[in-house]
Structure 1
Amino acid sequence: MKIDQTANPLNSVPSPAKAQPAKDVAPPAAASVSTPLPANLSSLTAQVRQLQTQLAQPGSGDFDTAKVTEIRQAISDGRYQVNPEKIADGLLDTVRDLLGKRPS
């Protein structure tokens, strides 16, 4: 099967410049009436600024950046100790939660 690259299916669609304007058609209602915004724009702007300020503060995110830096340095120095028992216990707790069963 050969693909013909010379065919242009968009040639049959009239461009806006070639289209004949309709004389009897009224302008769309959306052009004269503004649609109300879902929320007050100034309120959203204030909320965004507040969130940016909170995120810029150290220790305000989902994780402690100081602790991450400390762990990263410990890994680089070869001092970081992995506790496989703690990891296994956490994994088993997660599986129990997903199955809806808690240890008795």
Structure 2
Amino acid sequence: MKISDDSIEAAILSSGGEFDSHEIIRRIAQQNQHAYISELSSVDSDTPFQTFHSMLGKRIKAICERHGFTGEASRSQDIFGQYSNCVFWSRQLGL
């Protein structure tokens, strides 16, 4: 089972005009628990969360840009509560 782009897009569009990629990843994990675990468990890496979240971040980026969001480098708490790099997304009203 794979997290669909439609699920990612729904998480993004329901987040308002400003959010960061960590928020979207948490929302995706919560709303798609079975698919999230399935994809995460298929990652062959010593750092599966980081690898998988990086893959999700690229998908989030493509969808955000398609919807007129602008990204800038930021930091916030990740899924483990540690501050790490992410992208802060925003868009002007009316877009």
Query: Which one has a larger percent strand, Structure 1 or Structure 2?
Result: 2
Task: Verify same fold: TM over 0.5.
Answer: no
**TM-score after normalising by structure 1:** 0.20
Q: Which structure would you say has the larger RCO, counting Cα contacts within 8 Å and 6 or more residues apart?
A: 2
